């Protein structure tokens, strides 16, 4: 049995240290790769959140509503409160819009006098049905899925407003909402 040389000993120490560093660097990479699967395990990621009673949204009016992000963290504070615009079309049919402009994500405001949503950042304007009226946005407002249950209006969370073919659907009695402009 021969004594290990200094070179062999340093080689083994180097391999062990490289293995430790590799394992440490692999943890965030593996978490990143598996994060879509973990969203399904979090209870509130794709859940239905109540916005309020139907009487809070009078017919033929558009109102601002807020809900709490179901995947909030302890440090989120008031940033976990998310705003959306609710348009009651005829008493039982609704449109729920994300409060962000489709151009750069600035918060839009509703002006009932002109029946327009206006973006303060670059002058984007949207009609009351969320379709593009003018300005730099190349599409309408992002529409969220909703349903009515037991006299309450609920929206589905877990959707990110992204450019593309976002079609909102009414879940109640299987009818579908209007497709947004693309």
Q: What is the pLDDT of residues 156-176, one digit of tens each?
A: 877 666 555 444 444 444 444
Q: Is the pTM of this model over 0.85?
A: no
| Cβ–Cβ < 8 Å for 72, 80 | yes
Q: How many whole angstroms from its chain centre is CA 166?
A: 12
CA 180 to chain centre: 17
Which own/partner contact pairs does 4-10 have at CB distance under 8 Å and 24+ positions apart? Answer: none
Lowest mean pLDDT among 77-81, 112-116, 136-140: 77-81
Domain span including residue 33 = 1-41
Does the residue 55 lie in any domain?
Answer: yes
Same domain, 60 and 32: no
Give 120-142 pLDDT, tens digit per residue. Answer: 988 899 999 999 999 888 889 99
Q: Are residues 18 and 92 in the same domain?
A: no
DSSP 8: H
Burial of 74 (0-12, 13-18, 19+ CB in 10 A): exposed
Query: Which CATH number goes with the domain that contains 111?
Result: 2.102.10.10
Strand order of the β-sheet with 143-144 is 61-68, 81-88, 94-98, 143-144
User: Could you give the CA distance from residue 98 to residue 100 in angstroms, rounded to a whole number?
Assistant: 5
CA separation, residue 15 to residues 8, 51, 80, 96 (Å) = 11, 57, 45, 57
In a domain, 133, yes or no: yes
45 with 71: CB under 8 angstroms? yes
């Amino acid at each position: 049995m021969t004594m290990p040389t200094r070179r062999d000993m340093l080689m083994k120490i180097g391999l062990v240290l490289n293995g430790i560093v590799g394992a440490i660097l692999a943890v965030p990479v593996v978490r990143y790769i598996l994060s879509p699967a973990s969203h399904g395990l979090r209870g509130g990621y794709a859940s239905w959140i109540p916005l309020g009673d139907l009487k809070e949204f009078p017919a033929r009016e558009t109102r601002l509503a807020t809900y709490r992000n179901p995947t909030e963290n302890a440090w989120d504070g008031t940033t976990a409160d998310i705003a959306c615009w609710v348009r009651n079309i005829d008493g039982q049919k609704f449109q729920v819009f994300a409060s962000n402009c489709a151009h750069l994500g600035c918060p839009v405001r509703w002006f009932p006098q002109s029946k327009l949503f206006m973006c303060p950042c670059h002058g984007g304007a949207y009609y009351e049905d969320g379709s593009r009226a003018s300005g730099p946005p190349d599409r309408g407002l992002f529409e969220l899925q909703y349903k009515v249950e037991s006299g309450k209006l609920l929206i589905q969370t877990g959707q990110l407003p992204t450019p593309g073919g976002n079609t909102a659907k009414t879940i109640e009695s299987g009818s579908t909402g209007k497709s947004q402009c693309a």
